[in-house]
Amino acid sequence: MVIKVKNLVKRYDELLALDHLSLEVHKGEIFGLLGPNGSGKTTIINCILSLLKYDKGEIEVFGKPMKPESYDLKRDIGIIMQNVAVFDELTVYENIDYFCGLYIRDKAERKRLVREAIEFVGLEDFTKFYPKKLSGGLLRRLNIACGIAHKPKLIILDEPTVAVDPQSRNKILEGIVKLNEQGATIVYTSHYMEEVEQICSRIVIMDKGKVVATGSKEELKGMIALGEKITVETFAAAQPEHLAELRKLPGIESVEWHDKLLSIKSGKGRNNLEQVLDFLKTRNISFGRIYSELPTLNDVFLEITGKQLRD
């Protein structure tokens, strides 16, 4: 067990930011913390890091209680904040070297580690640049390099891809997977479900300071009734009686028609698409493209909380 949080309560005056929240992070996994903005992701991270005071609950990291002076624990943690945390007055190299130097005393080793970190994030050509001269994506990569140069066993990334171009984002995500392969446990928070879905082996979905669901993405999707979303492009306007008939088919949860698109949500089962196609044929409804999608984490979130993950 790398992180263990039990019954954590944190208030900001009136606002209950964390409401008896419990979670566990296992060794070697990429743990995803998914939730909309303001759901308490950053708060829980800061509590785990012992930067924030909390009102109730217990936090253990590497099996020991986490305190501000737990230096032996801090030595094995790397953090990448939501906001870029680098010094404007230091160059790319100096920034990484400074933060790495807070962990590693030996100069030669530090030099090697800093080089590795720079290679890892692909900033070789920018070592002498000041942060102000870097583009948003490069700056994020520097931010990451500062957090991982000392080869931590636990890496916490708090929305590291906010405002990052797709190219840099992919590079970052690939990097995280690579770090995990090298043996680090990763905690990754995001409100982008695609990212979480793409890399995380276990996911916690949060809302309003509470855990609403936990599991692998397959497990999470298994929790909800929705099995498949079928969309059909129709050329003629759909008749209300057709829609009513469709709704009566077995396994169909809901049917809507809007702007030449027929959206059908069905439960789990193998022949959903087949029966819809049969129906269209027998009613002589001409149609164009058809596609079928599996549910996303957004659908999971929607079904559990009744609202969209992103608004």
Partner 1 sequence: MFGHIMLTRMKCLLRDRQLMFWTLFFPLILGTFFQMAFSNLDKTESFKPIAAAVIENDAYKNNSFFRQLMDTVSEGDSRIFNLTRTVTAEEANQLLEAGDIVGYYTADGNQVSLTVKSSGINQSIMKSFADQYLQTSSAVEEIIQTNPQALQNGILSKLSDELDLMKEVPIGSAPLSLSVNYFYTLIAMACFYGSFLGLKEVTDIQADLSNCAMRVNMSPVHKFKAFLAGMTGALIIHFAEILILLAYVTQILKVDFGSKTGYVLATAFLGCVLGLSFGSLISAAFKKNENTKTAILLTSIMIGSFLAGMMAMNMKYQVMKYMPILSYLNPVNLLTDALYSLYYYDTLDRYLLNMGLMGAFAAVFCLGTYLIIRRRKYASL
**Binding positions for partner 1, rule: CB under 8 A:** 12, 46, 49-53, 68-69, 71-72, 74-75, 77, 79, 81, 83-87, 89-90, 94, 98-99, 101-103, 105, 146-147
CB of 68 to partner 1, least distance (A): 4
**Is the Cβ–Cβ distance between 27 and 33 less than 8 Å?**
no
Classify residue 279 by its DSSP letter: H
Tell me how many degrees the CA angle 46-305-271 measures, rounded to the nearest 5. 125
Classify residue 285 by its DSSP letter: -
Return the axis-axis angle of helices 166-181 and 136-148, rounded to nearest 10°: 10
Burial class (CB in 10 A: 0-12, 13-18, 19+), 63: exposed
Q: Are strands 287-293 and 56-61 parallel, antiparallel or unpaired?
A: unpaired
Nearer to partner 1, 164 or 196 (CB): 164
The token pair that represents 52 in the structure block: 């924030």
The token pair that represents 149 in the structure block: 């140069």
Phi/psi of residue 209, nearest 5 degrees: 80, 10
- Give Rg (Cα) of the chain: 24
Compute the Cα dihedral for 281, 284, 285, 286 and give only its sign.
Answer: positive
How far is residue 121's CA from residue 166's CA, in Å, rounded to a whole number?
15
CB of 143 to partner 1, least distance (A): 9
Burial class (CB in 10 A: 0-12, 13-18, 19+), 261: middle
CB of 32 to partner 1, least distance (A): 21
Nearer to partner 1, 72 or 311 (CB): 72
CB of 104 to partner 1, least distance (A): 10
Helix, strand or coil for residue 223?
helix
| Long-range contacts from 266-271, C-beta under 8 angstroms, 24+ separation | 266/226, 266/227, 266/228, 266/229, 266/230, 267/225, 267/226, 267/227, 268/225, 268/227, 268/228, 269/227, 269/228
CB of 10 to partner 1, least distance (A): 10
Nearer to partner 1, 36 or 152 (CB): 152
Nearer to partner 1, 99 or 301 (CB): 99
